[in-house]
Structure 1
Amino acid sequence: MSAKTTILLSKSNLPADVEIIIFGQRYHLHSAVLRLFSGFFDGSLSENWWKPENTISGPTSISYRYGLCRDESGDLMLVPVGPDVVLNEVLPSAPGMPPPPNDEEKAYLDRVDAETEMARSYDSLFRIIYHAPITGYQTDSECESLLEVADLYCSRSVVAAQIEHKLLSSPDIAQALAHRALEFLNLATKIRSKKLFKDSFIHLVGRWKVYREVRDLDLPESITVLAEEEYNRIGEMISAASSEIDRLTAGSEEYSMAYPVIHRILRRSFTDPGNSGSTREGVMYRQISSPTTWVMNEEEEEIQAGMDARFPERAGGLHAFLARIPEKVQGIVAPLLKNNLVLGKGLNFQHLTCAELGDDRYPWDDKELW
């Protein structure tokens, strides 16, 4: 690979004093900036660690140079490179280490793909350090390589903050969290994003009946236990609400007339194939608390008309009674229809979004260093 155009990310006139070469791509950066946002560079460029013989002197402002080198385990890591080393590619091995064996074709192609992704991660790391825009990084898999590179250079907190900002700024993030709750739960844990974690957890619990059937669910046990507890708590709320709705007409004067109508509506709402899916409780409870739901069908209207003719003193009583039911049902199901989402406020989802997550239930310690 031939050397590419040198990338200078700073917009200031301050001359760059660090050159970093990643698979032939040269970056001219600033030691002060790197030391501020990377614990690795803060140590490496310090007087205690930097070797004077590696310092470059010449007509340019570059004093420090780094290149990728394979360590004892075969992993790639930036190391200081002296002025006498010609470096356009990755160094074949650390000093004293044998070169890696020849690869088979598939292994070679896999390595090329991995190194291409690694080059992208290094590019993004430097751009984040310089507050320059980055593209992509909307999924857990995309972020994995970048976070691994950030860990090498003690920069995860900086990268995590940028990934969170990028995701929260996406216009589609609320819907994405609903459809990819598992993926975003894992990513939110890695970058310690409470907003992303909370909404993903709420969607996970709302669809837990489906998720819990998945074999080898890619979730830490602590989150699985937390989701199961919250799912069971909401299940108890559903049982209580259903019983209260079922007793809605007990003891009323219109009970004998209203009973068939109410139970037809409830039976339809709870068993309608369009509503009875295991993750459609949100649709169902919004429907049964709607005034348009509580109307009589044509046959019931004819029966009511006949009864109105026979008992004029009670004419219209059933209509008036049914008109009062939605408000009562709304009060009963209000806790279930509560929207606790941070990013999905004002949106209605098919599943319930009333799960709760206390501030002490996040699976990381904010006081723990990255």
Structure 2
Amino acid sequence: MVSHPQPSDQPSLAHRPASVTSRSTGTRRHRTPRSHTGGSSYRPQNEFPNFAQTGDVDIVINADGQERRYMLHRLILTQNSGFFEAGTSEDWSKAQSRGQNSGVGPGNTLGSIGEDEETGREQARSTYPGAQGGRFIWRYELDWGNKEDEVPMLVQKQTQPTMFGGDQYRPPPVPNKPAPPSHGFLKSMSNFSAMQSASHIAKSNSAHNTDSDIIRDYDNLFRIFYNYAPSLDTVNIAESYIQCKSLLTLADMYDALEVVGPRIDHHLLQFQGRLWKQIAKYPPSYLKLGYLARSKVIFAEALVHVVGQWPSGSSQLRHTVPPDVLEVIEDKVDDLHDLKMRAEAKLFRLTLTTARGERITPTNGYMDWLALSLFRQWLAETTTPPPPPVPKTPDSGRNRHAQHLPVSSGTLFRMLGTGGSSYLARDELKRFVKLRPEDSSRDTLKKFEKKMDEIKALAREIVRPLNKSYLELDLVRDGGGLGYLTCTRIDEGDYPWD
């Protein structure tokens, strides 16, 4: 498998055989006019997708009432796809040749005992029916199978001479396609469409013509093999997601993720801010896509969201991703939980001291102790589910200052990290002080506010690590309303494919 080429709209000459480069370049630049006296000087096309002069792999895609034909190079296909590397291997060709010559007919030959390897190779080539005009031709057609829900896949065909001297396609007597790679990601997924965590994505996908999508996906697959940029939507990111997911599915079938994945990564990253917003909306979907494409940026961005919301996304990920992906998620969830528990413990133990360094108590600093008590009461009520409702009484509105609805951990720690008037604002402190009329002077209120500001400053330092964000998403501009923490850090060793 070769490394992924740099994105380009033009094919790289380094990835093409010398004969292909020279012929195709010459054909484009120096066109010789047809001769009307001695026949035609027209030469067959020798550029993508039809290398008529140098190609040795004939591929036919029949879908949606259309036929797309490709004459490509075994060298290029085997460099980019494990499927073609196995299907066009010497051992595979010999097996097909032996199966072809096992019956009774003029083409049957028996190999001599003791033949050397070179003689055997030449015999396999000479007896293989795909050999035409001095070239050894492999033929593939899209096999739709007998079931409507089957994913069509290319199968290798042979040409068999007929009694009229023509050729007809006939599947070889041996199994007609190599086994797909066992390590493929989608082989461990019961349904890749589970990536679609939003109903509008599913509806958009179902509105497409499946057969037309197959033609597009195969064309994009072969374009990437020949270092052309794939034809993917560059305007609608939801549409682009569907196309990228479909292309990755196909690439996984043909063991070509290492080549296709970087192209998908490059294409999606061009959306920049819109991509980060989409990942925030559908993190499980993009986590799977990022894993398939081996995109560290997309995978890490989605993983931060998934860990922060866990276990809300577990139903979409369990049994649909490999165990090593789940292991990374669960490890990060445990790390985040431990970080929160340590911060909460420090917050509840937070205290003030006197000028002598003594802890504040009701006897050595009554108003300071009241400020600490109010803070701890607020913290307990915002982190604890409310008790069962009680019947209303005429006096139920007296303690409204102490009634707080629980908030998510992300919202709580962001409030603590912001400080100021984000919680226990001045009006609430004023109501609290007025509960004791003898202490409700303006002077007392100012001292009380000053002590509360001191407490908030200490709390802000405690929660600082939890308020870090390792997202590309701009939380100030686009992340409003996130009720979970985004402080999960993804290190180099955390990517499950490394």
State whether TM-score is above 0.5. Answer: yes
Matched residue, 2:492? 359
Q: Does 1:183 align with 2:285?
A: yes
Whether 1:118 and 2:214 are equivalent positions in the alignment is yes
Partner of 1:203: 305
The amino acid across from 2:222 in the alignment is F
1:167 has 2:268 as partner: yes
Amino acid at match of 1:135: L
Query: What is the 5 A alignment of 1:22-37?
Result: 22-23=61-62, 24-27=67-70, 37=80
- Match status 1:333 vs 2:333: no
Q: Which moved more, 1:113-122 or 1:324-333?
A: 113-122
Aligned in 2, Cα 1:220/1:25: closer, same or farther, shift over 3 Å?
closer
Q: Provide the secondary structure at the position in 2 that maps to 1:344.
A: coil
| Conserved? CA contact 1:241–1:332, under 8 Å | yes
The residue correspondences of 1:207-218 to structure 2 (distance < 5 A) are 207-212=309-314, 218=320
- d(CA) in 1 for partners of 2:228 and 2:351? 63
**How many angstroms apart in 2 are the aligned matches of 1:153 and 1:50?**
25
1:321 equivalent to 2:394? Answer no
Identify which of 335, 338, 344 aligns with 2:473.
Answer: 344
Counterpart position of 1:258: 371
Distance (Å, rounded) in 1 between the aligned partners of 2:254 and 2:325? 29
Write the deviation string for residues 250-269 of structure 1: whole angstroms up to 9, x where unpaired: 53434333145424543564
Selected match of 2:60 from 4, 14, 21: 21
Deviations 1:37-81 (A, max 9, x none): 456667859997977975777xxxx99785415499996326477
Counterpart of 1:94 in structure 2 is 171
Cα separation, 1, equivalents of 2:436 and 2:457: 22
Q: TM-score when scaled to structure 1?
A: 0.68
1:241 aligns with 2:337: no
Supply the distance in 1 between the matched residues of 2:267 and 2:296 (Cα, whole angstroms): 15
Report how far residue 332 of structure 1 moved: 0.6
Residue by residue over 1:164-183, the C-alpha shift from the partner in whole angstroms, topping out at 9 and shown as x without a partner, is 11222223222332332222
Equivalenced residues, count: 330
- RMSD over aligned CA atoms reads 4.6
Tell me how far 1:295 sits from its aligned partner.
Answer: 2.0
CA displacement at 1:157 relative to structure 2: 1.4
Deviates further, 301-310 or 44-53: 44-53
Secondary structure at 1:316's aligned position in 2?
A: helix
Equivalent residues of 2:221, 2:260 under 8 A apart: yes
Q: Indicate if the aligned counterparts of 2:465 and 2:487 stay in contact, CA closer than 8 A.
A: yes
- Aligned counterparts of 2:254 and 2:317: Cα–Cα separation in 1: 36
In the alignment, structure 1 residue 286 sits paired with structure 2 residue 286 = no
1:193 aligns with 2:232: no
Deviation at 1:339, TM superposition (A): 1.5
The equivalent residue for 1:299 is: 431
Structure 1 position 248, deviation (Å): 2.7
What letter corresponds to residue 286 of structure 1 in structure 2?
Answer: R
Q: Residues 31-180 of structure 1 correspond to what in structure 2 (within 5 A)? A: 37-38=80-81, 44=88, 54=130, 66-68=139-141, 70=143, 76-77=153-154, 79=156, 94-95=171-172, 115-129=211-225, 130-135=227-232, 138-139=240-241, 142-143=243-244, 145-151=246-252, 153-171=254-272, 172-180=274-282
| Paired residues of 2:157 and 2:171 also in contact (CA < 8 A) | no
Contact 1:308 1:316 survives alignment (8 Å)? no
Change (3 A) 1:176 1:93: farther
Output the CA distance in 1 between the equivalents of 2:278 and 2:331. 24
Q: Deviations over 1:2-34 (max 9, x none)?
A: xxxxxxx86995342246432212446677765
Q: How far does residue 162 in structure 1 lie from its aligned partner after superposition?
A: 0.8
Q: Residue 433 of structure 2 contacts residue 439 of structure 2 at CA under 8 Å; is this kept in 1? A: no
Greater Cα radius of gyration, structure 1 or 2: 2
Deviation (angstroms), 1:199: 2.4
Whole-angstrom CA distance in 2 between matches of 1:219 and 1:206 = 18
C-alpha contact 1:269 1:287 (8 A) present in aligned 2: no
For 1:175 and 1:275, the matched residues in 2 are separated by: 29
Distance 1:305 1:295, change over 3 A: farther
TM-score by length of 2: 0.53
CA 1:93–1:177: 2 relative to 1, 3 Å: farther
Q: Percent identity?
A: 22
Distance in 1 between residues matched to 2:250 and 2:81, nearest whole Å: 11
Unaligned runs of 5+ in 2: 1-9, 13-20, 26-45, 94-120, 163-167, 175-205, 234-238, 353-358, 387-403
* Aligned twin of 1:100: none
Cα deviation for residue 149 of structure 1 reads: 3.6
